[in-house]
Amino acid sequence: MRIGLMSDTHGFLDEVLFTYFADCDEVWHAGDFGPGVLERLERFKPLRGVWGNIDGAAERAAVPRKLEWECEGLRVYMTHIGGYPGGYERGVKAELHARKPGLFLCGHSHILRVMRDQALGLIHMNPGAAGHQGWHQMRTVLKFEVRGQGGGAEGDRTGPARPVYCGEGGGAGDASRISVPGPGFLTACPAPRRAPPASGRCAGTSSSARCTSPACSVSSRTFIAPR
């Protein structure tokens, strides 16, 4: 199943996304829709999403704060404010231990990340921010594919991909079917380029260079746009 993943639109939905996500089976939104976005996405593709901290009564009535489901046998857990491996928000790690997803999705930070949590056997994805509002310098989304048992999940690509950040184990929480593109793909994090800190946290890159942090492997080859 081909997935378009986005977050933090804050009321803005770029028309190019309708072309970029045209071949997707579903669109997933990790919160902070903003006015009018949820309705437009529902008319476009089957939509899964959660509400974020800026969302009003309409969005909170339409989608939950937390969402758990299975996609091609892979357990997925989504919430808006979740953090990332090594920096989870309070209570999130306990939720992940209890739910045992293979794929954990969130937004809120406006930082594009694809990271492995080896201890929990999952992949974490944050698509960054697709809207204008916020401190980020680039608007980003992710596209990937989830395959059934024996397959994988690959980012949008035009050449060979290498399987990375693979979880271990089996069952619905198994993340071993998820891979992201290897070197040579246009990658970006929405922050100015600077040296990676000692913590390994994503340091951000320009729109034409791979993030130098060993903890970050981001992939959004087609839709990376200036604010």
Which tens digit of pLDDT belongs to each residue from 160-180? 322 222 222 334 555 545 544
User: What's the Cα-to-Cα distance from 218 to each of 37, 56, 57, 213, rounded to whole Å?
Assistant: 25, 30, 33, 10
| 226 part of a folded domain | no
Q: pLDDT tens digit string along 35-75?
A: 999 999 999 999 999 999 999 999 999 999 999 999 988 99
Residue 137: pLDDT band (50, 70, 90) is confident
More confident residue, 210 or 46: 46
Q: Tell me how far apart the alpha carbons of residues 100 and 40 are, in angstroms, rounded to a whole number.
A: 32
Number of domains in the chain: 1
pTM above 0.85, yes or no: no
| 211 part of a folded domain | no
Least confident of 4-18, 88-102, 147-161, 165-179: 165-179
Order of strands, sheet of 122-127, starting from the edge strand that comes earlier in the sequence: 66-71, 74-79, 103-105, 122-127, 112-117
| 200 part of a folded domain | no
For position 80, which CATH number holds?
A: 3.60.21.10
Q: Tell me how far apart the alpha carbons of residues 79 and 72 are, in angstroms, rounded to a whole number.
A: 20
- Domain carrying residue 87: 1-182
pLDDT at 136 (0 to 100): 86
| 125 part of a folded domain | yes
Phi, psi angles (nearest 5°) of residue 43: -75, -20
CA dihedral 26, 27, 29, 30 (to 10 degrees): 50
Per the prediction, the chain carries an average pLDDT of: 74
Measured in whole angstroms, how far is the alpha carbon of residue 126 from the centre of its chain?
3
| 52 part of a folded domain | yes
CB 34 within 8 A of CB 14: no
Q: pLDDT tens digit string along 181-197?
A: 332 222 333 333 333 33
pLDDT at 109 over 80: yes
Q: Tell me how far apart the alpha carbons of residues 101 and 198 are, in angstroms, rounded to a whole number.
A: 29
User: Angle CA(220)–CA(169)–CA(123) in degrees, nearest 5?
Assistant: 20
β-strands 138-140, 142-145 pairing: unpaired
Order of strands, sheet of 47-49, starting from the edge strand that comes earlier in the sequence: 47-49, 26-29, 2-6, 142-145
| 205 part of a folded domain | no
- Helix/strand/coil percent split, the chain, to 5: 10, 25, 65
What string of DSSP letters covers 131-179? SS-SS-SEEE-EEEE---TT----BS-SS--B--S---S-STT--TT--
Residue 225: pLDDT band (50, 70, 90) is low
pLDDT at 201 over 80: no
